[in-house]
């Protein structure tokens, strides 16, 4: 959490405020008041706020975008499972040189180009089961006004100044790079040598122009203090170390506008129509646009800001973990609490990238394998620290092992059997005595007792993949427990017995095994809801768990004694049917 010393720094005026000539009715009516942090009003409870990056619409999405969406959605749904109010914001980044060039190449007006491609990303979010509350577009009018006001305050605090800028500019990355970050590279295909960014490998060109700059260099110490106060700001820690290293080595002031002769497609600088606001300053403000910025005094947190988690790919760490908090600190606004930076998906061990065409079409993948199977695979195999190679064969393997042979097999062997009744097994739980428990059941109980807290710890560390693996380990352990106890064999033996007491003893053993197996299905089914919303819901329907009893508080073993009778008919081909094609 941000400590009191830093909070007090947020409230201090940083610089004298000269008069700025640019004004608008929109600003005069509400914004100047909303920028004041000293007004005392009744606080509004802050909802949990999580964001995806806004996706660049210069080309169609690939499966890496789907992974980011799914990862973010899991984090939001986990909070809802815990009983918290949560908000998810996603959207599209629609300004900048790459959009301008892509629209020209397509012989389409930039806004029409953006409208079409933004709909593609909206469709992907819907098909992926994203529970987003907002879909922001940087061409939205409310966003434009928020960006111009944000600029207005930065300039008022003298964090923006005008000067000539010369440097290496990368159109692909939409940023200038210092000389120290540039190197000569050789294109192995054409034999051409070119200058490129060391960080991204993208080509740069020398540019000289007059534009506006942000005093990033003045924020070095404040950023380092912020990182020290918030050591878990960037996840994983290896990237936090990178960020601290970059800032410690020194920061150059950041060019934050482009001459309109070179870049027409973007938001104009207030009071200077000859300049277009830098696309990254424009884009980053989206996170507070949909959180209600500029805020009414006393309601600064009502829309969720500061964000609890912002999910991004590792290739945009510098922009989100240095530039973004610097912009916010300059205005006395709190940065996000944490930024989860995930690794990339590769295809044939090469990074997926729209520019190279080395991508997987997420729409085809969702259509072929289904949304729940894809969400499961991406969450299970997707990397946070390390890249993961994508392959259809891996999806089938995970499906067969985890879903079909894991949770599906467990469900079939317990809830579908006609040798016993699940509802009777659940009722019998109250009669089970500790002295009657065999060692395998004692071990099974301990697994189920520990599972919720294990998952909770992994999620608190922003590691949904590890949390999912904890759930699946419990599923596999339960399948082994069921196989080791062989209730179907005991059932046959009991049916042949004439001794009533011995028969009752065997039947009690069956009920113990079935109860602790189906209890595992109930608990894991609840915990799987953020990952596979549809299939997890169907799973809980099949064992009769009422919808009001599917929150995290019901993951404690024995916390629900009223389930066991199916709420729906059994699906014709089972909960996890066979894939028609397996290549």
Number of neighbours of residue 79 by Cβ within 10 angstroms: 22
Query: Which of 266, 287, 284, 283 has the alpha carbon at shortest distance from 275?
Result: 266
**Cα distances (angstroms) measured from residue 201 to each of 177, 181, 249:** 12, 10, 21
List, for residues 391-438, the tens digit of each pLDDT value. Answer: 999 999 999 999 999 999 999 999 999 999 999 999 999 888 888 899
- Name the phi and psi angles at 9, rounded to 5: -65, -30
Q: How many residues does the chain have?
A: 583
The two three-digit tokens of residue 467, written as one number = 């949390």
Structural domain that includes position 496: 391-555
- Cβ–Cβ < 8 Å for 414, 519: no
Query: Is residue 475 one of the residues assigned to a domain?
Result: yes
What DSSP element (H or E) covers 506?
helix 500-527
Query: Is residue 97 one of the residues assigned to a domain?
Result: no
List, for residues 103-161, the tens digit of each pLDDT value. Answer: 999 999 999 999 999 999 999 999 999 999 999 999 999 999 999 999 999 999 999 99
Contacts with 351 (C-beta within 8 Å, 6 or more apart), sequence order: 344, 358, 387
Query: Is residue 452 one of the residues assigned to a domain?
Result: yes
For position 174, what pLDDT does the model report? Answer: 67
Query: Is residue 484 one of the residues assigned to a domain?
Result: yes
Query: Is residue 202 one of the residues assigned to a domain?
Result: no
Task: Count structural domains, the chain.
Answer: 1
- CA 247 centroid distance within chain: 25
Query: Is residue 491 one of the residues assigned to a domain?
Result: yes
- CATH code for position 511: 1.10.730.10
CA–CA gap between residue 371 and residue 469 (Å, rounded): 19
For position 167, what pLDDT does the model report? Answer: 75
What per-residue string of b and e applies to 306-326 under the rule 16 or more CB within 10 Å gives b?
Answer: bbbbbbbbbbbbbbbbbbbbb
CA–CA gap between residue 67 and residue 383 (Å, rounded): 10
CA–CA gap between residue 481 and residue 442 (Å, rounded): 11
- Cβ–Cβ < 8 Å for 66, 128: yes
CA–CA gap between residue 34 and residue 333 (Å, rounded): 12
DSSP-derived 3-state class of residue 116: helix
Instruction: For the chain, give the percent of residues with pLDDT over 90.
Output: 76
Order of all β-strands in the sheet with 272-277: 257-259, 272-277, 268-269
> What region does 472 belong to: left with phi over 0, alpha with psi -120 to 50, or beta?
alpha
Q: What is the mean pLDDT of each run of 10 residues along the chain (583 residues)?
A: 35 37 44 38 77 95 97 98 98 95 94 97 98 98 98 98 81 74 82 83 82 97 98 98 97 94 95 95 97 93 97 97 98 98 93 78 96 98 96 96 97 94 94 90 97 98 98 98 96 85 89 97 98 98 98 98 96 86 46
Query: Which of 438, 435, 396, 429 has the alpha carbon at shortest distance from 522?
Result: 429
CA–CA gap between residue 443 and residue 484 (Å, rounded): 12
The two three-digit tokens of residue 82, written as one number = 């815990």
DSSP-derived 3-state class of residue 253: coil
Contacts with 226 (C-beta within 8 Å, 6 or more apart), sequence order: 2, 6, 233, 325, 329, 335
SS3 per-residue string spanning 370-390? CHHHHHHHHHHHCCCCCCEEE
pTM over 0.85: yes
The two three-digit tokens of residue 190, written as one number = 């054409």
**Cα distances (angstroms) measured from residue 7 to each of 11, 48, 240, 538, 579:** 7, 20, 21, 46, 55
Number of neighbours of residue 488 by Cβ within 10 angstroms: 15
Query: Is residue 138 one of the residues assigned to a domain?
Result: no
Question: Maximum CA pair distance of the chain?
Answer: 98
CA–CA gap between residue 214 and residue 203 (Å, rounded): 24
Query: Is residue 175 one of the residues assigned to a domain?
Result: no
For position 8, what pLDDT does the model report? Answer: 35
> What region does 10 belong to: left with phi over 0, alpha with psi -120 to 50, or beta?
alpha
- CA 50 centroid distance within chain: 7
- Cβ–Cβ < 8 Å for 82, 76: no
């Amino acid at each position: 959490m941000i400590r009191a010393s830093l909070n007090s720094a947020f409230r201090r005026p940083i610089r004298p405020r000269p008069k700025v000539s640019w004004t608008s009715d929109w600003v005069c009516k509400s914004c100047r008041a909303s920028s004041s942090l000293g007004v005392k009003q009744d606080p509004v409870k802050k909802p949990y706020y999580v964001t995806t990056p806004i996706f660049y619409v210069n080309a169609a999405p690939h499966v890496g975008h789907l992974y980011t969406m799914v990862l973010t959605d899991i984090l939001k749904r986990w909070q809802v499972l815990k009983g918290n109010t949560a908000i998810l914001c996603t959207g599209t980044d629609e300004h900048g040189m790459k959009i301008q060039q892509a629209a020209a190449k397509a012989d389409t007006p930039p806004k029409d180009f953006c409208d079409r491609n933004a709909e593609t990303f909206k469709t992907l979010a819907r098909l992926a089961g994203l529970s987003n509350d907002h879909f922001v577009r940087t061409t939205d009018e409310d966003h434009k006004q928020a960006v111009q006001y944000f600029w207005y305050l930065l300039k008022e605090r003298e964090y923006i100044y005008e000067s000539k800028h010369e440097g290496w500019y990368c159109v692909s990355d939409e940023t200038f790079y210092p000389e120290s970050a540039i190197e000569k590279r050789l294109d192995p295909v054409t034999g051409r040598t070119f200058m490129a960014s060391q960080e991204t490998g993208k080509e740069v060109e020398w540019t000289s122009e007059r534009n506006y700059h942000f005093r990033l260099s003045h924020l070095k110490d404040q950023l380092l203090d912020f990182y020290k106060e918030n050591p878990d700001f960037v996840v994983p820690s290896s990237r936090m170390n990178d960020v601290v290293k970059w800032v410690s080595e020194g920061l150059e002031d950041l060019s934050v506008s482009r001459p309109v002769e070179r870049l027409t497609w973007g938001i104009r600088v207030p009071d200077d129509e000859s300049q277009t606001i830098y696309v990254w300053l424009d884009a980053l403000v989206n996170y507070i646009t949909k959180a209600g910025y500029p805020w009414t005094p006393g309601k600064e947190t009502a829309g969720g800001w500061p964000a609890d988690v912002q999910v991004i790919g590792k290739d945009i760490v510098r922009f989100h973990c240095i530039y973004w908090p610097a912009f916010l600190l300059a205005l006395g606004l709190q940065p996000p609490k944490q930024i989860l930076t995930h690794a990339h998906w590769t295809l044939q061990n090469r990074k997926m990238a729209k520019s190279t065409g080395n991508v997987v079409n997420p729409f085809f993948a969702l259509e072929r394998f289904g949304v729940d199977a894809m969400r499961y695979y991406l969450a299970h195999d997707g990397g946070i620290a390390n890249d993961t190679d994508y392959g259809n064969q891996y999806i089938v393997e995970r499906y067969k092992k985890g879903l079909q042979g894991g949770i599906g097999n467990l469900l079939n062997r317990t809830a579908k059997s006609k040798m016993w009744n699940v509802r009777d097994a659940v009722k019998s739980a109250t009669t089970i005595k500790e002295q009657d428990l065999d060692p395998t059941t004692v071990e099974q109980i301990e697994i189920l007792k520990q599972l919720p807290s294990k998952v909770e710890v992994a999620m608190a560390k922003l590691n949904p993949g590890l949390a999912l693996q904890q759930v699946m380990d419990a599923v596999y352990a339960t399948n082994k427990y069921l196989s080791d106890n062989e209730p179907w064999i005991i059932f046959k033996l009991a049916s042949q017995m004439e001794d009533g007491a011995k028969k009752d003893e065997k039947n009690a053993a069956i009920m113990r095994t079935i109860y602790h197996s189906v209890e595992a299905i109930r608990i894991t089914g609840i915990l799987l809801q953020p990952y596979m919303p549809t299939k997890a819901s169907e799973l809980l329907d099949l064992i009769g768990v009422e919808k009001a009893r599917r929150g995290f508080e019901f993951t404690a073993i024995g916390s629900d004694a009223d389930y066991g009778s199916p709420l729906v008919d059994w699906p014709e081909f089972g909960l996890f049917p066979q894939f028609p094609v397996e290549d």
